[in-house]
Amino acid sequence: MTVPYSLRLSLQRLFGEIWINLLSILTIAAGLFIVSLSFIPVYNLDVVAKKLPDKFSMIVYLDNSLNRNDINQVVNSLKKNKEVNSIRYISKDEALKELKSTLRDSTFIFEGLDENPLPDSLEIKLRRDAVDPNAVREFSEKAARIDGITEINYGEKFLSTIYYLKVGLQTLGTIFIIIMSAGIIFVCYSTVKILFYRRKEEIETFKLLGASKGFIRTPFLIEGAFIGGSGGTLSLIGIYLFSYIVFFRLADKVPIFKSVAIPENLFLSLPLVGILLGITGAVIALGRLKY
């Protein structure tokens, strides 16, 4: 019986103090909306950053004097490293063909070239988790010691960019989420605290009539959950409207918006996030009820 009555009580209070509650709901909605909005670029950068390791490869140039057997030996000793995902052999002829096709419009460069100046090479793809600046440097130092390898090439700049992008995004995202959650919890806290103080007399009467702590607290928790949940739902509606307008309407005019990904499933959890933050705020506001 307690829960339905508590529910009725909290609904009465919610609508009885509609303005303060509406204000809190709007504040929370705005907060969650801003978090969600700034999450879109973070999310997109993250999607890109996740794909980058697949694009990363190292080129190992081989000594010209190696025969097939020697090359196989080099490949085998490279494969012994657990960082290696796959190795592709590129003969000097293939390399030249590739180069020619890339420079299709400038074939004059190759005129008068009777001998292929390119060495044989190996293209190494590393495992996803091995693509970070330190691991790659260690690996290349190790690889350089293998007989028959003359030179190792990889995009160091590219590599550290991926890495710092990833770390930076994570840190920035975490800090941002912590600050915003704290803000939202504070809004719920203040709302419930205000509701609580406005009802001080009533709560005192409840206590004198024999109400338990749970009986007194439950309506406030429901109110916190309701305020947080409404704020979350409102921000969800807001973010949908916003992304509809920006990414579908404006995409015709500004093509870059077409490729923007929206983490829809993540946003669907906004009401739930709101509820949790609301309850947290209420719990902190009520603290330890004393008799």
Partner 1 sequence: MIEFFDVTKEYNNQTALRNITFSIEKGEMVFVTGTSGSGKTTLLKLIYLAEKPDKGEISVAGWETEKLKESSIPLLRRNVGIVFQDFRLLNNRNVFENVALVLRIRNMNEKDIRTKVYHSLKTVNLRHKSDSVPEALSGGEQQRVVIARAIVAEPTLLLADEPTGNLDVDTAAGIMRIFNEINAKGTTVLIATHNRELFKNTGRRVLRLDSGNLVGEEAE
Binding of residue 2 to partner 1 (CB under 8 A)? yes
Binding of residue 259 to partner 1 (CB under 8 A)? no
* Secondary structure in 3-state letters for the chain: CHHHHHHHHHHHHHHHCHHHHHHHHHHHHHHHHHHHHHHHHHHHHHHHHHHHHHHCEEEEEECCCCCHHHHHHHHHHHHCCCCEEEEEEECHHHHHHHHHHHCHHHHHHHCCCCCCCCCCEEEEEECHHHCCHHHHHHHHHHHHCCCCEEEEECCHHHHHHHHHHHHHHHHHHHHHHHHHHHHHHHHHHHHHHHHHHHCHHHHHHHHHCCCCHHHHHHHHHHHHHHHHHHHHHHHHHHHHHHHHHHHHHHHHCCHHHHHCCCCHHHHCCHHHHHHHHHHHHHHHHHCCCCC
Query: Whose structure tokens read 């909306």?
Result: 33
- Closest contact distance (angstroms) between CB of 206 and partner 1 is 7
Binding of residue 290 to partner 1 (CB under 8 A)? yes
Residue 153 or 212 having the CB closest to partner 1: 212
Residue 108 or 291 having the CB closest to partner 1: 291
CA distance 109 to 104: 10
Binding of residue 197 to partner 1 (CB under 8 A)? no
Q: Determine which residue in the list 54, 138, 156, 202 makes contact with partner 1, applying CB under 8 A.
A: 202
- Closest contact distance (angstroms) between CB of 2 and partner 1 is 6
Residue 2 or 150 having the CB closest to partner 1: 2
Residue 5 or 244 having the CB closest to partner 1: 5
Instruction: Name the token pair of 140.
Output: 């290349």
Binding of residue 256 to partner 1 (CB under 8 A)? no
Binding of residue 5 to partner 1 (CB under 8 A)? yes
Binding of residue 291 to partner 1 (CB under 8 A)? yes
Tell me the per-residue interface mask from 209 to 228 with partner 1, x by CB under 8 A, - otherwise. xxxxx-x-------------
Pick the piece of the chain touching partner 1 (CB under 8 A) from 96-104, 117-125, 202-210, 258-266.
Answer: 202-210
Residue 4 or 255 having the CB closest to partner 1: 4
Q: Determine which residue in the list 208, 252, 255, 287 makes contact with partner 1, applying CB under 8 A.
A: 208
Pick the piece of the chain touching partner 1 (CB under 8 A) from 60-68, 73-81, 137-145, 204-212.
Answer: 204-212
Q: Give contact residues for partner 1 (rule: CB under 8 A).
A: 1-2, 5, 12, 16, 202, 204-213, 215, 290-291
